[in-house]
Amino acid sequence: MHEIKESFDVKLAEDEKYYVPDEKYRRTSWIGDYQRRYDEFLADPDAFWNDIAEELDWVRHWDRVLEWNYPYAKWFVNARLNITSNCLDRHVASDRRNKAALIWRGEDGTERVYTYQKLLTEVIHFANGLKKVGVSKGDRVCIYMPMVPEQAIAMLACARIGAVHSVVFAGFGETALNMRITDAQAKIVITADISIRRGKAIPLITIVKEAILNAPSVEHLVILRRRREPPVEMRPDFELDFYELMRNGGADCPPEAMDAEDPLFMLYTSGSTGTPKGVVHTCGGYMVGTYYTSKYVFDLKENDIYWCTADPGWITGHSYIVYGPLIVGATVFISEMTLDYPDPGIWWRLIEEQRINIFYTAPTAIRTFMKLGEAWPEKYDLSSLRIIGSVGEPLNPEAFEWYYHVIGKDRCPIVDTWWQTETGMQMITTMVGEPMRPGFVGKGIPGVVADVVDKDGASVPLGSGGFLVIRTPWPAMFRTIYNNDERYRQYWETIPGVYTAGDLAVKGTDGYIMVIGRSDDIIIISGHNIGTAEVESALVSHQAVAEAAAIGKPDPLKGNSIKAFVILRVGNAPSEKLKKDLMYHVRMTIGPIAVPQEIAFVEKLPKTRSGKIMRRVLKAQEMGVDPGDISTLEE
């Protein structure tokens, strides 16, 4: 993955402050006593996962729970299943048939409710439609859509027939989209004419059309036409209307019996070098892992309404909007609303109106609300909330306190969940009922052996820092990087024998883990991962730029912001105008999230003797701290 940077010492102010949730949470939580469950898992990991898998529907039972051939795992060996049977058919065949599966709220106030039956019907029709245009098991389908229910329908329809979906976040620009379509060799791209943000229509379709110009694998575009007047024109034969495809689909689509190890989807995530990585997840293990965590980490109960504010374009949306909660049979609320439009009270108003019980969001949103003030949430009745969650980046203690007091009213447990695109499921948190410690995510959940180690893989003593690793395989782990197995192995070989997450962490004296941030060249901005390499390559693709280096700088709201250092090609003079041009260029190439907030024109960049840019040195200069070991610096 990346070279391991030196270990480091942390001086923790060990004020051991805990919030102990009401005893009732321990009693009502399905997980019950954390330590007992953890010990059960340790005593017999296979039996632990076996029992969870037994709760689901399979077409063929597994011969063995796990075949571990480091660093390759096979989970539920030789089992057959279809994840949509568990997301949909299983509930339709039960008392949940008429229960709301999805409740969607559009920006214009439109509300749509899908019962489990209705969702299944639409998924089946759309799946058949895909079959009719030539999509079959194993084909890759790119989904580039706004937050509408059709996005989830498209994902589930792919899963129904065994096509591998690759969802690309609709905030990405045309170059980023093109790269993802061509790497996956996607046969179909499913998109929408527009996405709606802050009352404005953003033409997605123009981005897609640019992106597929050099993507010969694409045979059809399927377009959800949201704009009524005038509707976008369709190029005959090549472009297909979403609902027409669905109407022509037909009502019978038995779920494809997938091998547990067949791919379910791929999802691109930023790499520390070069192109984004197509993280591949498989059917069986991912189903079991997302089911288990949705059920126990969120402690989802039959009558809960659950809201996760993520976009399905990211792994959080895959695992905790679409797959996990539907497998559990929950009611999932999806909103297209930006957090401050039409006003900064909108999310709290939605919680009041929908009587949301479980709410899952990101620290960047929490910090934004802190800045906007308590008056907004205080206008609304948040008493329906039972459990509140966080994901994507460190939840700093100040944000924890605010979330706990202002939103959770000193009553709701916070589940701050650490995990990754690669892990597929939540891995570290403080399970409901356990004492919570601000700033610390908690411990590995039962089933997960998380640790903080030095660069040789030895556990660091309690109270010190090192690299965050996972010691044993887990069901929802990714199986490879698409077409690049070498990059998969690097995760397991960086520190031999363990999965290296790429995060720096501290193990408190109580064994609780605090995640500090990335140890590699990935910058997390508002919970979104951007590789320095992506930003740099976007910059150098501009004709004025010879070389570029990007670093993350701490930002009170977004976690980090990007600063870029740029060497211009001869004949180009630094100017404010050029800075603006470069920012615009990055926006068009990767998307708005990757735009540097600052650009500095420089004559030289600090490099190692072997020519690698030492971003660490740039960052230290920027922060006014000691750059540490610079013995490898060029001069």
Contact residues for ligand WTA (CB under 6 A)? 269, 314-316, 391-394, 416-421, 441, 501-503, 515, 518, 524, 529
The string over 422-431, giving b where at least 16 C-beta atoms fall within 10 Å of a residue's C-beta and e elsewhere, is: bbbbbbbbbb
Q: Which two tokens stand for residue 263?
A: 């791919």
How far CA 201 is from CA of 108, 204, 205, in Å, comes to: 11, 9, 11
- Kindly tell me which of 84 and 417 has the beta carbon lying closer to ligand WTA: 417
Residue 624 tokens, joined: 């006014």
Which of 249, 271 has the CB closer to ligand WTA? 271
Concatenate the DSSP letters of all residues of 28-53 into one string. Answer: HSTT--HHHHHHHHHH-HHHHHHHHH
To ligand WTA, the closest distance from the beta carbon of 529 in angstroms equals: 5
Distance of alpha carbon 604 from alpha carbon 210, whole angstroms: 35
Give CA–CA dist 465/17, Å, rounded: 19
Shortest distance, position 245 Cβ to ligand WTA, whole Å: 31
Of 423 and 589, nearer to ligand WTA (C-beta) is 423
Return the structure tokens found at 413. Answer: 């447990």
**SS3 for 621?**
helix
Which whole-number Å values give the CA distances from 635 to 27, 604, 617, 630, in the listed order?
A: 63, 12, 13, 9
Choose between 135 and 514: whose C-beta lies nearer to ligand WTA: 514
d(C-alpha 274, C-alpha 266), whole Å? 18
C-beta nearest to ligand WTA: residue: 421
Minimum CB–partner distance for residue 597 and ligand WTA (Å): 20
CB of 135 to ligand WTA, least distance (A): 27
> Which residues share a beta bridge with 74?
67
Q: How far is the CB of 314 from ligand WTA (least distance, A)?
A: 6
For the CB of residue 488, give the shortest distance to ligand WTA in the complex, in Å: 15
Instruction: Using the minimum distance from each CB to ligand WTA, give the nearer residue, 188 or 476.
Output: 476
Q: Say how far apart CA 323 and CA 152 lie, in whole Å.
A: 9
- Write down the least CB distance from residue 385 to ligand WTA, Å: 19
Residue in this structure with the two tokens 């059309």, named with its chain if needed:
209
What is the distance between the alpha carbons of residues 87 and 101, in angstroms, rounded to a whole number? 9
Nearer residue to ligand WTA within complex by CB, 502 or 606: 502
- Exposed, middle or buried, 200 (CB in 10 Å: 0-12/13-18/19+)? exposed
What is the closest distance, in whole angstroms, from the C-beta atom of residue 466 to ligand WTA in the complex?
15
In which element (H, E) is residue 292 found? helix 283-296
Closest to ligand WTA by CB, 130 or 399: 399
With respect to ligand WTA, which residue has the nearer C-beta, 82 or 421?
Answer: 421
